[in-house]
Chains A and B, each alone.
Chain A
Amino acid sequence: MSPALVRLGRQLVLVPIVALASYFLMAALPLTTEDDAKRQVAPEVLASYRRDLGLGQPLGFLRPWVKLFRGERLGTSAQGVTGDELLWKLSGSVGVGLVALVLALGWALAFALLRARWRRGRLAVLGDALPAVAFGTPVFIPALLLAPAVVERGHLLPELSAALVISVWPGIFLGTLVADALDTELSRDYVRTALGKGLSPHSVLWRHVLPNVLPALLDAVGPVATALLAGSFAAERVFGLPYFGQLYVLAVLQKQVAVVVVATTVFASLLVAVGLVVELVRLWVDPRAREVRA
Chain B
Amino acid sequence: MSTRRVPTRAWVGLALLVGLGLASWLSARVFPEALASTCPLGTDPTHPDRTVCELAFGGLWVSLAVGLVAGALSTVLGLGVAMVARAAGGTVEHQLLRAVDAVFALPDVLVVMVLQLAGQSMLDAGHAGGLGPFGLMVVSLALVGWAGPARMFRNRLATLEGQEFIAASRALGAGRWHLLRVHLWPALRPFVLAVFLSRLPTAILTESTVSFFGIARMEPMSLGRYLGTSYAALIYEGGARVVLPAWGLLVLLVLGASLASQALGAGTRRA
Chain A residues packing against B (C-beta within 8 Å): 10, 14, 17-18, 22, 25-26, 28-32, 38, 40, 132-133, 135-141, 144-145, 147-148, 151-152, 222, 226-227, 229-230, 233-234, 237-238, 248-249, 252-253, 255, 257, 260, 264, 267-268, 271, 275
Contacts and interface: CB of A to CB of B under 8 A. Distances in A.
Contacts of B107: 226-227, 229-230, 267, 271
B220 interface: no
Nearest to B243: A144
Interface string B249-271: 01111110011000000000000
A133 B108 CA distance: 20
B231 interface: yes
Contact of A264 (B110, B234, B254): B110
Most buried by B among A14, A152, A252: A252
Contacts of B125: 30-32, 38, 40
Given A148-B235, A230-B107, A25 B121 contact: no
B220 to A, nearest CB: 19
Most buried by A among B98, B127, B239: B239
Mostly, the A contact residues are: helix
B226 to A, nearest CB: 12
A137 B254 CA distance: 9
A88 B244 CA distance: 35
B238 interface: yes
Interface stretch (B44-52, B152-160, B177-185, B201-209): B201-209
A38 B124 contact: yes
**Closest 7 A/B residue pairs (Cβ):** A136-B254, A136-B251, A30-B125, A230-B107, A147-B235, A29-B121, A230-B109
Interface size class of B (residues with CB under 8 A): 35 or more
A61 to B, nearest CB: 16
Contacts of B247: 137, 141
Given A137-B247, A138-B212, A144-B227, A22 B114 contact: yes
Contacts of B117: 29, 252, 255, 257, 260
B40 to A, nearest CB: 20
Interface string B8-49: 000000000000000000000000000000000000000000
A135 B254 contact: yes
A151 B247 CA distance: 21
Given A30-B125, A135-B254, A237-B213, A147 B234 contact: yes
A190 to B, nearest CB: 27
